[in-house]
Amino acid sequence: MLQVLTNPNGFFKKKITERIEWKNPLIIMAFMAVVGTITIYTTMMSTLQSFMSMDFLEGAGQIILAIFLIIGSIIGVVFLWILYTGIFYVISVIFNGEGDFKRLMEFVSYGFIPNIAGSLISAYYTSRVFSNIDFASVTDPQAIQDMIYADPSMKIAAALGIIFTLWSANIWIFGLQYARNLSLKNAVITVGIPIGLSLIYTILTVFVLR
């Protein structure tokens, strides 16, 4: 499965000749859910520590919070998986793409592998940002937002996010090419439209307009 990270073209070229399988995609998305839980938990703890004592999270409180975050992460990951697949599917229709939605969904899952590592690294830097802010003493939402984006750790997290997103996009291009029977050019355009808009928004928000 690691071949998809270094040679996505060869990986999907072989994969398209095989039957659709859900084992690896479900493992990948399960890891995504775990990483999402860790990311939300670290960010939440860093924020709450500025407001109140953490005594209420002892014992049963920790269990309840963990269950809540896990369920939320699973729902979020499934939604994201379907959303990305749906967007790529709809755009590929413009280029007369042909291929089963389930096959595309299978291939899209592999593109999230770089995001697993990227999210963990970004979570570390993001937690540093929130732990450096005393939310109890700052009440103006705009001031809090300015402090978050001014922190160098936020820019590092965003830069790493861009790198891993581009890596994911490269995987999605070849996955889409085979899953929807597109030319490489049309696959690049199909993936490039939503991913490009997302990256432009990130760059403007974090690096240009701050």
> Is 13 within a domain?
no
The residue written with tokens 């402090």 in the block is 147
Does any domain span residue 10? no
The reply to whether 138 falls in a domain is: yes
- How much is the average pLDDT of 119-129? 76
Q: For residue 49, which of 108, 168, 110, 134 has the smallest C-alpha distance?
A: 134
Q: Are 171 and 8 in contact (CB under 8 A)?
A: yes
Domain assignment present for residue 61? The answer is yes
Give 138-155 pLDDT, tens digit per residue: 666 677 677 777 777 788
8-state DSSP, 205: I
Residue 4 lies in a domain: no
Within-domain flag for 56: yes
Q: What range does the domain containing 80 cover? A: 20-208
Asked whether residue 2 is domain-assigned, the answer is no
Q: Decide if 198 contacts 31 (C-beta within 8 A).
A: no
pLDDT: is 31 or 43 the higher one?
Answer: 31
Question: Is 47 inside a domain boundary?
Answer: yes
Per-residue exposure over 134-148, b if at least 16 CB sit within 10 Å of its own CB, e if not:
eeeeeeeeeeeeebb
Number of domains in the chain: 1
pLDDT tens, position by position, 66-102:
778 788 888 999 999 999 999 999 999 999 999 999 9
